[in-house]
Amino acid sequence: MYATVADLRAEGVTVAQADDARLEALIDAATAEIDRVTGWFFEPRALTLALDGRGAPSLELPAPPIRLDRVAIDGADISLSADELIVVGAPVDPGFDAPRLTRRFGRFARGHGNVVALGLFGYTEPDGTAEGRTPAAIRRACILLVLRWLHPLADDGGFDARNRWRIIEERTRDQSYKLDRVSGGGRTFTGDPDIDGIVARYRRPPGLGAV
């Protein structure tokens, strides 16, 4: 999960508003929703991936590898030495474009699910450790999403808090207001620019290798 109960308590959420069990459930749901919308996951997870070889030296992966324990083609293990295999993975450095494996010698033979990669995967950022950490912006998005679910409406006569940021003109005498258009053709995650801006930055590029 990308946030903790302590994070939400630090934001001022009291036990009267939500007990620990409810906050944990909301954090878990927010984590899953961020994964769904971005197409990535942002913490280390042990996986075994079955991938399609395409007869090329490079193979794109559906998630950045943090640590590889085994790579096999048609059941035969290949060397994980840096002299034999170039790994573009996590912790993610500036300039990262896509996770992939590249054989210095040879190719990933064509086949359906014939390349197996076993190890630890996840989109993490550097923190001085081998595994890295969940990006700080993703942690913030998770916290904001839980807060949004806890407090969906502002106490302003029923006005939807999700639209507050869109006000470009407001008249206090007669309570009227004018809303700006939502950018992106209305295709937003939540309508909250603080959350949607983070999600947009971390979206998985289309067309990457699939399991």
pLDDT digits (tens, 9 = 90+) for 44-89: 999 999 999 999 999 999 999 999 999 999 999 999 999 999 999 9
Q: For residue 155, how many C-alpha atoms fall within 13 Å in the half-sphere facing its CB?
A: 0
Residue of 53, 22, 8, 31 whose CA lies nearest to 135 = 31
The structural domain count of the chain equals 2
170 inside domain: yes
Residues 34 and 50 in one domain: no
pLDDT at position 95, please? Answer: 82
> 74 and 116: one domain?
yes
Q: Is the pLDDT of residue 128 over 70?
A: yes
Peptide bond into 91 cis (omega under 30): yes
Please answer whether residues 35 and 169 qualify as being in contact, where contact means their C-beta atoms are separated by less than 8 angstroms: no
Q: Are residues 59 and 31 in the same domain?
A: no
Pick the last residue of a domain from 91, 121, 151.
121
| Measured distance CA(98)–CA(35) in Å, rounded | 17
Asked if 117 and 139 sit in the same domain, the reply is no
Query: Is residue 139 situated within a structural domain?
Result: yes
Any domain includes 144: yes
Tell me, yes or no, whether 53 and 86 share the same domain: yes
**CA 98, CA 11: separation in Å to the nearest integer?**
34
Q: Tell me which residue has tokens 């999960």.
A: 1
Separation of alpha carbons 167 and 181, rounded Å:
10
Q: Answer yes or no: is pLDDT of 182 > 50.
A: no
Residue 205's pLDDT band, with cuts at 50, 70 and 90, is: confident
SS3 label, residue 183 = coil
Last residue of a domain, one of 121, 145, 173: 121
Whether residues 148 and 188 share a domain: the answer is yes
Asked if the structure places residue 82 within a domain, the reply is yes
Across 125-140, average pLDDT: 96
Residue span of the structural domain in which 14 resides: 5-41+134-201
Among 100, 121, 142, identify where a domain stops: 121
Q: What is the pTM of this model?
A: 0.78
208 assigned to some structural domain: no
> How far is C-alpha 118 from the geometric centre of its chain's CA atoms?
21
On the CB side of 19, how many CA atoms lie within 13 Å of its CA? 1
Tell me the C-alpha to C-alpha distance, in Å, between residue 92 and each of 44, 88, 98, 126, 172. Answer: 12, 8, 10, 7, 48
Q: What is the rounded average pLDDT for all residues in the chain?
A: 85
Over 50: is that where the pLDDT of 32 sits?
yes
**Residue 206 is assigned to a structural domain of this protein:** no
210 lies in some domain: no
Regarding whether 158 and 91 lie in a shared domain, the answer is: no
SS3 for 142?
helix
Same domain flag for 52 and 84: yes
